[in-house]
Amino acid sequence: MSVKQKINSRMADAVAKSYFKPWYKRAWGIAIIVVLVIIFLLSLLFAFQIISSMKHLEKGEIFNPETGTWVTQDQFKSNQLFIANLMTEDDPWLGAEEPFIFVTAYESFGCPFCKEDQENIKQMLAKFGGIVRFMPKDFPTEGLHPNVMEAHMAAACAQEQGAYWKYHDLLFENQGEFGDDRLKAHARELTLDIDQFDACVKEDKYDKEIRQDYAAGVQAGAIGTPTYVVNGQVISGSISYQRWEEIIGYILKQY
């Protein structure tokens, strides 16, 4: 074979070999390798998170979704108590001193659905009051129910004398009867200081606070009554006792 023939043969071999690259050197092969490496790394990360979570759970720690961190049960209770106390500093509430779940209810004394929900709320608190703090907020449906703002004002004035919840119940029991005479009659029935109560109502002492509650409800997403905020989650409309059980059970399973 001549020199020229040898050169041509080697060039032909080189060209042929270029068409037969190993799969891992080809573009699609490289893409597969990259994908496999990413899957492997994600698997390692997932396994690490599971192992880390198991170690925290073994220590009895709780994951706080609000901060994205693991905390001890004492720290979690302390944080919940601080938040709950901050939210209810000047407002009436029922339930747990150290709440695990807190419920804010935007209610109107003129709303028939709010009235229907009262028995469900009482049943819920009877069972879960040891872990739930329930906080009503003023959301008067002005324009829909006559004198409803006066009813909310009267309830706030009754709170001054430590009679909010009894007055609250009387307003719902006598829904729609919110004239001045009727509101005073409720105060007399509860043996409140009528002069103090009357002065409080007439000077619109709590008008600003009631409207602040309403504004906060709108900001939270309330567009009607009742609207509940359960651990930061907005739930619109009435909630049956069975649904309360489901909601609270679901929250407890997250921890």
* Confidence label for 142 from pLDDT (cuts 50, 70 and 90): very high
pLDDT at 69 exceeding the cut of 80: no
CA 198 to chain centroid, in Å, comes to 37
Tell if the pTM clears 0.75, that is, is over it: no
Q: What is the DSSP letter of 3?
A: H
**C-alpha to C-alpha distances, 170 to 17, 62, 121, 163, 185, nearest whole angstrom:** 93, 41, 16, 11, 10
* Confidence label for 219 from pLDDT (cuts 50, 70 and 90): very high
pLDDT at 90 exceeding the cut of 80: no
Average model confidence (pLDDT) across the chain: 83
The stretch 137-152 carries a mean pLDDT of 96
pLDDT at 254 exceeding the cut of 80: no
CATH code for 62-253? Answer: 3.40.30.10
The stretch 108-136 carries a mean pLDDT of 97
Report how far residue 205's alpha carbon sits from residue 226's, in angstroms, rounded to the nearest whole number.
25
pLDDT at 65: 53
pLDDT at 74 exceeding the cut of 70: no
* Confidence label for 29 from pLDDT (cuts 50, 70 and 90): confident
pLDDT at 87: 54
Domain regions of the chain by residue span: 3-58, 62-253
Closest CA to 118 of 190, 172, 176: 172
The stretch 179-199 carries a mean pLDDT of 96
* Confidence label for 230 from pLDDT (cuts 50, 70 and 90): very high
Residue whose entry in the numeric block shows the structure tokens 């004239």: 179
* Residue with the larger pLDDT of the pair 133 and 36: 133
**C-alpha to C-alpha distances, 165 to 34, 91, 106, nearest whole angstrom:** 65, 11, 15
pLDDT at 133 exceeding the cut of 70: yes
pLDDT at 17 exceeding the cut of 80: no
